[in-house]
Amino acid sequence: MLIIFLLSGIVNPLISYYNQSLELESFWILLCLPLILFGFHSAAKKIYRSSERFSSEIYNSFDDEYYKVSGKDFKSEIKISSFFKVEKNKKWIFVFTSKRQAFFLKTEDITAENNIVLKKIFDHNDIKNNL
């Protein structure tokens, strides 16, 4: 629906310009489009902030063979040898489970000692990493 509004808001003034008759409907569409986008954004933000599932604590742990993640109502284990690669940047550590799928950890939550342990675990399992 938004794409149709956007296209009609862009195409209608161009057609009207070449026909020498400028119509106001296209300008209303272009004015209403940011309001619609803002409405969707604010509604999504309100749902995200009010949802208990999104704000619950998540616990991560690593051992020699498994990555374990758990929360209030879930628990999961992933074999470390199945990881694709690990990349670290200034704020995040991305652990790729496949070429296009990853989970992430904040670098501020990982101490220097934990970083060394993680590097040893990933090196032991022959996982490409830049820790």
Cα 63 to Cα 24: distance, rounded to the nearest angstrom: 64
Report pLDDT digits (tens) over 67-97. Answer: 888 888 888 898 888 888 889 888 998 888 8
Claim to verify: residue 61 and residue 34 sit in the same structural domain: no
Claim to verify: residue 18 and residue 33 sit in the same structural domain: yes
pLDDT at 36: 80
DSSP state at residue 127: -
Claim to verify: residue 38 and residue 76 sit in the same structural domain: no
For 46, the token pair is: 């309100």
Cα 37 to Cα 40: distance, rounded to the nearest angstrom: 5
Claim to verify: residue 44 and residue 94 sit in the same structural domain: no
Claim to verify: residue 72 and residue 108 sit in the same structural domain: yes
Claim to verify: residue 39 and residue 79 sit in the same structural domain: no
Q: Which residues form the domain of 23?
A: 2-53
CA atoms within 13 A on the CB side of 131: 24
Place of tokens 């009609």: 8
In 3D, which of 3, 2, 1, 33 has the Cα closest to residue 25? 33
Claim to verify: residue 74 and residue 92 sit in the same structural domain: yes
Claim to verify: residue 48 and residue 60 sit in the same structural domain: no
User: What is the number of domains present in the chain?
Assistant: 2
Claim to verify: residue 34 and residue 67 sit in the same structural domain: no
Rg of the Cα atoms in the chain: 24
Residue 81: count of CB within 10 angstroms of its CB = 11
75 contacts: CB under 8 Å, gap ≥ 6: 68, 69
Quick one: which H or E segment has residue 129?
strand 128-129
3-state SS string over 15-31? Answer: HHHHCCCCCCHHHHHHH
Report pLDDT digits (tens) over 44-59. Answer: 888 888 877 777 788 8
The pTM score is 0.57
Average pLDDT of the residues of the chain = 80
Claim to verify: residue 82 and residue 34 sit in the same structural domain: no
Claim to verify: residue 39 and residue 84 sit in the same structural domain: no
